[in-house]
Amino acid sequence: MTRIDRRFAKLKAEGRPAFVSYVMAGDPDLETSLEIVKGLAGAGVDVIELGLPFTDPMADGPTIQLAGQRALEAGMTLRKTLDVVRALRESDDDTPVVLMGYYNPIYSMGVETFLAEAQSAGVDGLIVVDLPPEEDEELCLPAQAAGLNFIRLATPTTDARRLPKVLSNTSGFVYYVSITGITGAAEAAASAVGPEVARIKASTPLPVCVGFGIKTPARAAEIGQVADGVVVGSAIVERIAAGDAPAQVLAFVKSLADAAHAARG
């Protein structure tokens, strides 16, 4: 079992959803980013999604795009992102870490080299938004062979014919994108999300986490009622962009995590 598998098994036994937080590695700079990442577990985060800065983030809205630009301008690279994970593992060997981004930086490093480095750094899973199931031999299957979960996105437009293909080599959890469009856009609603989560769960034993459009503790609690996990990214990144100190960012994260965890309390 990976750290991701163990964490979701624990949460299932406790009867509560996971809280998953996304931050961009190196935003606004390496030192600040590392301080935030190291504080996430203490703020109640169950799974850390760490963004890989990339020059052409086509699935991301302005908030995440600008975070990636800030990180790149501060000198962030894929290797330095792996160093962030290594630094985290010096004090935290339990919290799962998922790298989320695009294939180009991984391809440029070389898949074999990247997977070896990621595994040794303590990475647990990958979300690569521009690699469809038809390209599983590129990265998905080698990643699974290296012991990393490969987490796939399902969306409101993933119909009954497409869903089995999306789920075929997915592991760790399924990431349900609650709205059509880019990150940081409309707000998610449990009334729309609940039936979709149930539809996906009917086809897989994996946990289903819901992200996109969750910006407040109240909305995190609402989604936590119907999903196995609640993912928040843009709302956290907005606090970093506004210049909030790491302690302020982490206090906001804790408010979201507490709300998600209390959803079924």
Q: Which residues are catalytic?
A: 49, 60
| Dist CA 34 CA 14 (whole Å) | 30
Dig out the tokens for 125 from the structure: 């899973």
Angle CA(54)–CA(59)–CA(60) in degrees, nearest 5? Answer: 70
Which H helix or E strand runs over 211? strand 208-211
Non-local CB neighbours of 112 within 8 Å, separated by 6+ positions = 142
Strands of the sheet with 125-128, listed across from one edge: 149-150, 125-128, 97-101, 47-51, 18-24, 229-232, 208-211, 174-177, 153-154
